[in-house]
Amino acid sequence: MTNPTETDAWKGLQYHCADFKRDDFRLAQLFENQDRFSQFSIQHENLLLDYSKNFASRESIKTLIQLAQEMDVPEAINAMFAGEKINTTEDRAALHTALRIPVEENSNPEIIDCLRRMDAFVAAIHSGEWQGYSGEKITDIVNIGIGGSDLGPAFVNEALSACAINELTLHFVSNIDPAHLDDLLVTLNPATTLFIVSSKSFSTLETKENAEAARKWLLAHNESISSVEKHFIAVTSNLDAATDFGIASTNLFPMWDWVGGRFSLWSAIGLPVALAIGMENFRSLLDGAYSMDKHFQTAELGKNIPVMMALLSVWYTAFFDAHSHAVIPYSQKLEQFPKYLQQLTMESLGKSVSNDNETVSTKTGNVLWGSAGTNCQHSFFQLLHQGTELIPIDFISVIKPTSDGSNAFRRHNQLLANSLGQSLALMHGNSASPDPHRRIIGNKPSNTLLIDELNPYNLGSLIAIYEHKTYVQSVIWNINAFDQWGVELGKKQAALLFNALESESVDFDLDNSTLGLIEHIKNQR
Ligand code: F6P
């Protein structure tokens, strides 16, 4: 293992970044190269990455690629696909990519069997062969899960709503706030509602509490314990806990320790998506991701979309002191993408100890945020244009409209024009303005990802880009992208404080802030 800051490439980049920090440097001057767009863009099938509006010359890219080589990125890519135990702190492989290998080529019988069972289940629900306790067809599906067991399916369900078969209404409940589940339950008919308890561990507090509350609600309407078998299924690697809960063994779908929660959309955790859009479309989502896997494995580093995006992120974090990264999909259907990416990137890259057990000597994962354009132009774009932070942006646009309403093409062109207009304005600014308050300095870098059409295949590819980008960043920073030990402590503290809230007195040491807050809560009640 290597410390990235000790590589020759890092030292070169440290020196080289000064070229772009000179007062007289303008991003726009890079376009004196008439071929810059073709030289600084990569197309894979229906996706195009334009990374030309970045602080990057040919020399920068060459040195960033050298950094990837010195940090053994090609070897790390092979290690992931080969199923090596790259999640070293948990002694596990990270083989979410195996879930996308087409059945004809897939040598893992568990994956094939799981897909076969998903096929049968989705067909039974759609046809009405699966019936609730009163013999009626299921009309509503409630996914109870949190983190990776919620964000991926919820995002994809919304993104691909145009492909919905419209047999079912899907709902996603994650928060332990009782309002989340309770507000939904009052709208549902228990006889026609099916709950999917999605939890790799089946021990996550929020999911357990919500699943128990849902079961109580069901039993309050139909006391027969067999109704639980007709109205609950689970996706989990903890089969015993799910069985203890009352879920029939035939209603259990597997998860494996080699699939991380935030990479689990492609497993049976994606069942809500498969129910909404059908298995054919779900397989197409897998195929799109598989195609990106092949690109990631085989394209040379400089023509590799995830690799180039990762290198640019490292570049800005380390050498331009960028504290955050914005992802702005100019697509209402992709509105939840930044939320999904927050778990993917911040749980993966929020680490400060290296794979060599040392404190890292450079900044690692930063804050990812964003929301759908054009809406956000009317909220936080002011800061992007005239604030003091340098925030690299990914603009994501879909070329074909996702609606066929009246004038959809015209409105969609407005949408595209706004996306292009923002990246242009951010790059050029209007530094000639005589009024300093109206002056926009420009020189703000961005990537643009253009997707031909928002369909399952292309969406699978898009998500896989960010998964692989995240992995490459972790390899360069020499950190483990696949564990998340940082989330444990807060959970333990919450368990202690829950007891303090439920009992008369607090019998353990607490700082006076937390104690004061607990007493205030109790007094106000
Ligand atoms: O607390 C974080 C986390 O472990 C995530 O990594 C995971 O996606 C989420 O909780 C839910 O976990 P589970 O699927 O085991 O309920």
In whole angstroms, how far apart are CA 358 and each of 103, 307, 315, 470, 481? 42, 25, 22, 21, 16
Question: How crowded is the C-beta side of 338, counted as CA atoms within 13 Å?
Answer: 22
Mutate to test the pocket of ligand 1, among 144, 484, 489 (most ligand atoms within 8 A of CB): 484
Q: Any catalytic annotation for residue 347?
A: yes
Mutate to test the pocket of ligand 1, among 89, 96, 146, 265 (most ligand atoms within 8 A of CB): 146
User: What's the 80 CA to ligand 1 centre distance in angstroms?
Assistant: 21
Other CB atoms within 10 A of residue 63 CB: 23
Q: What is the pLDDT of residue 432?
A: 79
Q: Encoding tokens for residue 502?
A: 């439920």
Asked whether the beta carbons of 493 and 514 are under 8 A apart, the reply is: no
pLDDT tens per residue, range 450-477:
999 999 999 999 999 999 999 999 999 9
CA-nearest of 264, 263, 227, 265 to 248 is 227
Question: DSSP character for 188?
Answer: -
Tell whether ligand 1 has an atom less than 6 A from the beta carbon of residue 210.
no
Tell whether ligand 1 has an atom less than 6 A from the beta carbon of residue 204.
yes
Tell whether ligand 1 has an atom less than 6 A from the beta carbon of residue 200.
yes
Question: Which one is catalytic: 11, 491, 520, 522?
Answer: 491
User: What's the 144 CA to ligand 1 centre distance in angstroms?
Assistant: 12
Looking from the CA of residue 146, the nearest atom of ligand 1 is: 11
Q: Any catalytic annotation for residue 491?
A: yes
> Quick one: residue 279, left, alpha or beta (phi over 0 = left, psi -120 to 50 = alpha)?
alpha
Mutate to test the pocket of ligand 1, among 92, 143, 149 (most ligand atoms within 8 A of CB): 149
In whole angstroms, how far apart are CA 428 and each of 32, 446, 507? 14, 12, 61
DSSP conformation letters of 445-494: -EEEEEES--SHHHHHHHHHHHHHHHHHHHHHHT--TT--GGGHHHHHHH
- Tokens 């994606």 locate to 270
What's the length of the chain?
Answer: 525
User: What's the 213 CA to ligand 1 centre distance in angstroms?
Assistant: 19
What is the rounded (10 degree) CA torsion for 469, 335, 456, 96?
Answer: 40
pLDDT tens per residue, range 370-389:
999 999 999 999 999 999 99
CA-nearest of 430, 435, 397, 429 to 413 is 397
pLDDT tens per residue, range 276-311:
999 999 999 999 999 999 999 999 999 999 999 999
**CA 421 to mean position of chain CA atoms:** 26
Tell whether ligand 1 has an atom less than 6 A from the beta carbon of residue 484.
yes
Q: pTM (2 decimals)?
A: 0.98
User: What's the 203 CA to ligand 1 centre distance in angstroms?
Assistant: 9
Q: Any catalytic annotation for residue 468?
A: no
pLDDT tens per residue, range 390-448:
999 999 999 999 888 889 999 999 999 999 999 999 999 997 788 999 999 999 999 99
pLDDT tens per residue, range 143-172:
999 999 999 999 999 999 999 997 899 999
